[in-house]
Amino acid sequence: MIVDVLIAEIGSTTTVLNAFQDIHTDNPKFIGQGQSPTTVVEGDVNIGILNAIENLKKNLACEDFEYKEMFATSSAAGGLKMSVHGLVYDMTVKAAREAALGAGANLSFTTAGKLTPNDLKRILKINPNIVLLAGGVDFGDREVVLYNAELIANLDISVPIVYAGNCACIDDVKDIFEEKGKQEFLHVVSNVYPKVDELNVEPVRKIIHDVFEKHIIHAPGMQEVKSLVTGAILPTPGAVMEASKILKEEIGDLVTIDVGGATTDIHSVTDGSEDVTRIMLSPEPAAKRTVEGDLGVYVNKDNILELISLETILKKTGFSEEYLQSLIANYPPIPKTDDEKTLVEILTKEAVRIAIFRHAGTITSTYAGDKNKVAKGKDLTAIRWIVGTGGALTKLKAGTSILESICNDNSPHMVPTTAAKILLDHDYIMASVGILSKKYKEAAIQLIRKSLKIGE
């Protein structure tokens, strides 16, 4: 069998391989999926890919297998680690954080103001894949961003540096890196915070994706993966965001919830309601991602278990304590038995509940003569669709009910209302569609509509 496009999604716990046919026609098809535990621990993620290929061949009932094109996404071994450095935390730093998270990065370190000796030590210890330097509105403060650029250029690191600060400093920043012989590592893009209360995150997201493809090796064996891939490589969360953005163009405001083994990611694409916009204290990006690194249903299951308590799980399941402890002790990356799935459903529901509260903003009242309301954070009240993706939500029977449980018309958090409709990524191809859209947008749109069963 010769497949048009094969896409490898290399996750923290599971490697998924999706096969697509008839990409160049009016009726592109998702024809099958293979899965395997990711093999970072073994020292080579290729082992997991090869195992997933064998699983895919079995599912397709074919012996011979070839592909014309292959793309990949990865969040293995911590994914894309970034450090972000700006001027004022609630302004340029926040804007830079939003841009980095939306591109699919995991933020390892952020600073505001002038970098300190301890800040520099921490950057070296973290050894980020990319450093994002911002600071100052256009034609505003120059001192801090140039001071930080000098220090970063002096660091003993050889990683891409993205500059997205005051446009008046661009030539000086270029000179600083050229003097240190590091001009090849510097990437300049337009200011992420050009004016007060104005965000400009998309150019930064794009260059992060470009830099990721050219420079980043995430996990043992990724160099060999690059030799197999004929198309793009993106961080998996960034690919999910790309899919969410093209889907928003098709069906309207949405939030995508991706529960994985290590993290729970929320991607919202909405400008919010007009009523809330009028009382918003500070701007939010139209496309926003938050990543909850403590809310994974495999790697970080113990964190969620502590939040729920074993007593609560025992009441919900009727399991004996001894049996529950046995389930937890022998917890697999991909659940197989009904009881294992029941436990994962409970963990998934708690992960989704906490993650949406952390993502959504709040409306509070102030008292200055008359009672007034102010909004802070992301407004999800205009959301029309809630999209569930990731293995936990798409492969479990309770996926729809879990997502319905976060809707609330009277919550102090600006969560989706009960008017929002649920869509599940039945084929589990959200990330694949996101990276596929870079080259085959129309095919990507048709494939995700089929997976979500829109129009059926």
Which is nearest to 449 in space by CA: 238, 243, 258, 289? 243
Lowest mean pLDDT among 11-20, 255-264, 409-418, 437-446: 11-20
- Is 434 part of a structural domain of the chain? no
Check which CATH number belongs to the domain holding 70 and give it.
Answer: 3.30.420.40
Q: How many domains in the chain?
A: 3
Residues 6 and 108 in one domain: no
pLDDT digits 0-9 by tens, 136-175: 999 999 999 999 999 999 999 989 999 999 999 999 999 9
169, 129: one domain: yes
Is residue 41 scored above 80 in pLDDT? no
Percentage of the chain beyond pLDDT 70 is: 95
Residues 62, 86: one domain? no
pTM for the complete prediction?
0.86
Q: Is 135 domain-assigned?
A: yes
Q: Is 413 inside any structural domain? A: yes
Beta strands in 263-315 (DSSP E): 264-269, 287-292
163 and 275, same domain (yes or no): no
pLDDT at 391: 85
Q: Tell whether the model's pLDDT for residue 218 goes beyond 50.
A: no
Distance, CA of 61 to CA of 79 (rounded, Å): 33
Instruction: Write down the pLDDT at residue 79.
Output: 64
Q: Is the pLDDT of residue 443 over 70?
A: yes
Task: Identify which of 182, 78, 184 has the alpha carbon closest to the alpha carbon of residue 127.
Answer: 78
**Does some domain include residue 310?**
no
Tell me the C-alpha distance between 162 and 407, whole Å. 38
- The answer to whether residues 404 and 420 belong to one domain is yes
Domain-terminating residue out of 160, 194, 215: 215
244 within domain boundaries: no
Residue 370 structure tokens: 């008359």
- Residue 54 and residue 104 in one domain: no
Structural domain span for residue 348 = 251-297+337-428
Which positions ≥6 away from 365 have C-beta within 8 Å?
A: 371, 372, 373, 374
Which residue, 77, 96, 125, sits at the end of a domain?
77
